Chain A
Amino acid sequence: MTDRRITVLEASGLSKHYATPAGPVVVLSGIDLRLDAGESVSIVGPSGCGKSTLLHILGALDPPSAGHVALDGTNPYTLDEKGLAAFRNRQVGFMFQDHHLLPQCSVLENVLVPTLVTGSADTDAEDRARALLGHVGLGHRLNHRPAELSGGEKQRVALARALIRQPSLVLCDEPTGNLDHDATNTVADLLLELHRRRGTMLIVVTHNLDLAQRFGRTFQLSHARLNQR
């Protein structure tokens, strides 16, 4: 696995609009954002304000209509399909509101899924996965299937999966949206602890203001604009 670390995330002039029969709908407009290594931010805003869209653009999942994203100086949208896939695999860790675990795979295998397409030997991947699962408190349920886990446990597996490739940037889209209060706290604690330990950049989209306040900076997305609170 490469040691190349992205130390800076820079987004400038990002905008996104969708064509609709009623005319274009502007979701994001003139967004600028910069994160340094080890920094964590949260983005809050009402439903449908474009939080997830911004996260997808930053995570190289969805190109912006205008503007520029640079992860350590590299604009992922200039990469070809192969390069883009490799970039996402190596540098970005995702955690979604819906965990998207593979139901036919065990907890351990789910965490290891991103390592299967590395193209090169990742000899200590299994050890890391076990360690990560130990950290998230699921070391005793390695061989369980997702259907046998609670919602919080599934999100913890998803967190471990997001971190297995030791990404520099971790993007979480409403990671606790489906969880109760206790589970939310557990997942948030884990997220922050692992973030601190690994020094990754962390961006969490949430509509939970309490949760948002636990991260270094908090931004409000409203009317397509991003403002720090």
Chain B
Amino acid sequence: MRRLVCRNLRYYWRTNLAALAGVATAVAVLSGALLVGESVRASLRDLVVRRLGATDVVVASDRFFREDLARAFASVDSTAKTTSCPIIRLEGALARAESSRRSRAVQVYGVDDRFWHFHGIARTGPSGRTALVGRALAEALGIKPGDDLLLRLDTAGWIPRESLFGRRESVGRTIRLTAGEILDADGLGEFTLQSSQQQVLAVFIPLARLQRDLAQSLRINAILVAGSPEPVGAGQVRSVLERQFSLQDVGVTIRPLPARQALAVESARVVLDDSTARAVAESAAELGLVSSGVFSYLANTIRTGSREIPYSVITAADLGQGALTGVRFIEGAAPSVSAVAPDESIWLNEWTRKDLGASPGDPIEVDYYRWQDDGRLTVETARLRLVGVIATDGGADSTLAPEFPGISDARDIRSWDPPFPMDLRRIREIDEDYWHRYRASPKAFVTLAAGQRLWRSRFGQLSSVRLAVPAAGAPVDLRTVSERLASLLRERIDPQSGGLAVVPVRALGFAASAGSTDFGEYFVYFSAFLIAAGILLAGLFFRLGVEQRVREIGTLQAMGFPFAAIRRVFLTEGALLSAAGGILGVIGAIGYGGILILGLRTWWIGAIGTSQMFLYLSAADLAVGAVVGVVASLVSVLWALRGLRHASARELLAGVLEPRLGRQRRARLLRVVAALALLAAVALLAATAAGSVPDVGGFFGAGVLLLASTLSLTAVLLRHPRGRPITTPGWRGLVRLGARYATYRPGRSLLCVALIAFAAFVIVSVEAFRKDAGSVDLSSASGTGGFPLVARSVLPIVHDPNGHAGREGLGIDTSQHPEFARVRFVPFRERPGEEASCLNLYAPQEPRILGAPLSFIRESRFGFQSSLAQTAEEQQNPWLLLGTPQPDDAIPAIGDANTIRYILHRAVGDDITLRGDDGATVRLRLVAALRDSILQSELIIAESAFLRIFPDREGFRFFLLDVPPSEAAGLVGPLEESLADWGVDIERAADRLAAYHQVENTYLSTFQSLGALGLVLGTIGLSAVLLRNVLERRHELALLRAVGYRGDALAVIVIVEHILLMAGGLACGTVSALLAIVPALVARGGSPPVAGAGAMLVVVLLGGVLSSLVAVLAIRRMPLLEAIRSE
């Protein structure tokens, strides 16, 4: 038997070689596609390693903390070493001094020699005003060593800009630098702590210089930590941080007040956040101290009748109670004994009462500033009633007020430098006298509850906590108490909620490098047709081999070979061929994978946006591809042998593979299948029309069913040709004879038709989803929401960009640019995070979040693909869902359908978890999905929810600009120029959408390219079948020549057969695909993808005709007499 197999393999080498090539193709394509997936993952992982340098974990804050803290993380023991490095890390906008070109989103690093040492790089610097520039940034701006650079940086301090004492007018600072060396990737020129495959624009400037320019001497905002030989873990770093951080690092100070035998706990942010206030109260209780909350604010005016006092500190505190018992009341009493409702009560100090001439019971009005969330500064008035008077020096002194920057240290009131408007003309001499005598001592008091109601913000509702040793206790050393309090507070304050985040950047980078897109999976899909074509071709050639030897099989049966033995012979041959094909395929996989990776780096770079992709070989992927390919091939051998069992030896000896009866039976069965598939398609369409099935799924399913139906019908026609006998002479007769040839081996012909049909289906249906990058819909229900422009800023904008004052503050000059007046900004708050669109290959761990203002939500812009809307109002405007409370307190969020499905791998109704500013886990619930929008890079929540979970994120950094479409393009340059100090980058919505579409279209192109390659394979298979048919029929063709058929008549017969098979396949595939893409056609205005898909199909048809000429040539070269002699 072994010898028989060997002989067979050798004798039928041509057919066997073709089958082997089919198997090798399938294995090469499948393994190659899997290799691509592994390669993308490994390349992304490499990129993480290359860009992070030695960094394992980073301790980072939005605020500055002690540089000394970095030392705490360095340790050495006998088995492991941990090193650390302090840096300042900021985002900025950089420009060459002599050029208007500017790069925003530049990663700015303040580093010194320790940075390079930390990463094991033998270099020093930079020094002076020298900046080391990453190559990508240098190339983007054309920077050469020696160039003057202007760097615009955010100078965020501790005080929130959106609080009363935050400085809004100077959010940034420009630093002049000189370009030094240009750093390559190997020299950490692409250093970044974020996972993205996009270019990194990095600049390194001297740490000391940056500290000086930012007025943050010996302070930093990030510590890099690395372990050796094993990476250090976040837990280990967190543990060190919890032991070693100081209250100063989280902006908390304890101020001893010896005169009061008390302590004041305050925040560098002016306002104590609630969790710190809680920790202080608990710690005080543990130490046996009495605590009282104090909330001091600034009143613009304290007024009664026509008399008023300008710019005064007003304190909310429960005087006479707790730690504030030392306050001396001259008239009236503490709130608890007042007859007036506490919320309406006000106490004045004696000086103020006299100045106002007020008496208890008099109405007192207090005007004060409040910053609104939309950036407007408003003046509000509290209407109160005087219930008491406090001695001016009676215990309610300036220690109740925190350090107001620009105020507390001013020599006089006129020297105040407050971050809000002041009318210095209102300052009187007696006001200055008061200031000189009592400094920031409050002039008026309200209850703590009343003050908190009036002035609380998301940043907190206390300016300090006063702690006093109980009067009955023994005198204590305040210094000792302060130290004990600090110790307890450090135990209770989570440094993370204090802003010191521990981020395991390496681990996160590795996790993210698994990718948002499994390219292996995608390329298996993309290559599916190629794989199928390879397997079908292998099956086809196996079948050809079987058909070629059908008489031999009959002979073997006649000689007493049981069918099982014959099948074993063929299976053994098939297994040997498949194994050889598998081995060849593995080699081919490396080539195919290499070509795909090369394609991703070049032709399809639009899909990944980086050329940093390399082929990585994975034995597992190669083995999987080989095993699947070989098994599929063996199945195809079995398929090829399937009909033989039922054929008699006599039929086989006569060369009959499928007896007429069997043929008819099969045709009947196929007719039933065709009818059932068609009925199912109609039923699915009806269900879709009734709304029971989504449009896309319904039509696509119907299209696939129609394809099954038409192919079954083709099989019926091939098996059971109908019509009058071929009697008409001339071309018609020849054409009919050619058509009849197609029915001779219906299995073969059907395979060819199916190959072409699948390819046509793929080409047409994929083309329909191609997005037009050229035009954009600017209607409000479109993916642009009707906003022609989108803007992002490096620095947060805390002004109202639509109000007069805000525009003035931002430098939007409508007198010079009247067109600016027609720009309406829709500002969004932004929690920076990872790009959540298809532009990022890494799986986003913490996606970018936007906070949408209520006014935007009510506008009902953009189109939605799906939502959880229940009410008619929500269905009409799904944005309203952002304000719908979820039963489990999850926060409603909206994202683009593409982002939700392909990047986050979620569906509407699913949750996403991320971390709030206090380090706590926050759950977002996806309540709606936008359809093909410009908001694919982020998730959107309501502004109110945003401020709740990200209270530290200030201002607006993302804007949709409502402008007349005709003016949009002309506004970009001037607006960017006007807002340059904020590093504003304005993009046309069309361009933004086109960038997303380019990725999608590139995927589609990839799909189509590989589909077309599969089609080429199919066409090659078709040609091979045709050639095989010609060879098999050489006797018949010779006879035709003998009876007077010329070469051109034979060519017609062959070409007709070929074209019929191709046209049949194209028709089945195209018609079915057109049905499948009806929703996409409707979306694109009913125009079918004639240009792209049509051209490709015509090329396919022409290719098929050309390939049939090979068969015609074979006929022409065929020796007539030898063929007639049956030799």
Contact = CB atoms under 8 A, between A and B. Distances in A.
**Is the pairing of A and B real?**
yes
Interface of A: 52, 56, 59, 61-62, 81-82, 85-90, 93-94, 96, 98, 100-106, 108-109, 112-122, 125-126, 129, 142-143, 145, 147-148, 161, 165
A161 B1043 CA distance: 9
B61 interface: no
Contact of A116 (B730, B1036, B1042): B730
A98 B1126 contact: yes
19 contacts: A56-B1124, A59-B1042, A61-B1042, A62-B1120, A82-B1046, A85-B1044, A87-B1044, A100-B1038, A100-B1039, A100-B1124, A104-B743, A109-B725, A109-B727, A115-B727, A115-B733, A117-B729, A129-B727, A143-B725, A147-B660
B1054 to A, nearest CB: 13
A117 B1038 CA distance: 15
Given A106-B725, A112-B725, 17 more contacts: A56-B1121, A59-B1042, A61-B1124, A81-B1046, A89-B1044, A94-B1042, A102-B740, A103-B1036, A109-B740, A115-B727, A115-B729, A116-B730, A118-B729, A120-B729, A122-B729, A125-B727, A126-B725
A61 B1120 contact: yes
Interface string B652-666: 001110011000000
B1073 interface: no
Interface string B726-743: 111110011001001101
B571 to A, nearest CB: 27
A98 B727 CA distance: 24
A88 B727 contact: no
B1039 A126 contact: no
B733 A116 contact: yes
A114 B727 contact: no
A100 B741 contact: no
B1124 to A, nearest CB: 6
Contacts of B50: none
B1016 interface: no
A163 to B, nearest CB: 11
A119 B728 CA distance: 10
A112 B726 contact: yes
Contact of A113 (B730, B737, B743, B1120): B737
A129 B1126 CA distance: 26
A52 B1125 contact: yes
A89 B1040 CA distance: 9
Given A88-B1043, A100-B1036, A103-B744, A148 B660 contact: yes
A79 to B, nearest CB: 12
A158 to B, nearest CB: 9
A117 B725 contact: no
Nearest to B746: A104
A96 B1125 CA distance: 9
Interface of B: 651, 654-656, 659-660, 725-730, 733-734, 737, 740-741, 743-744, 1035-1036, 1038-1047, 1049, 1120-1121, 1124-1126
Contacts of A122: 729
A148 B660 CA distance: 9
Contacts of B660: 145, 147-148
A165 B1042 CA distance: 13
Most buried by A among B729, B744, B1046: B729
A129 B740 CA distance: 19
Contact of B1047 (A81, A94, A103, A114): A81
Contacts of A147: 651, 654-656, 659-660
Contacts of B1047: 81
Nearest to A101: B1036
A103 B1039 CA distance: 13
B316 to A, nearest CB: 100
Contacts of B730: 116-119
- In the complex, the 5 A-B pairs of residues with the closest C-beta atoms, listed nearest first: A89-B1044, A116-B733, A104-B744, A100-B1039, A114-B1043
Nearest to B1043: A114
A61 B135 CA distance: 78
A104 B721 CA distance: 10
A102 B1044 contact: no
Nearest to A100: B1039
B752 to A, nearest CB: 16
A109 B1047 CA distance: 21
A24 to B, nearest CB: 18
B741 A104 contact: yes
Nearest to B1045: A117
Given A116-B730, A120-B729, A148-B660, A61 B1121 contact: yes
Nearest to B1120: A61
A17 to B, nearest CB: 15
A109 to B, nearest CB: 5
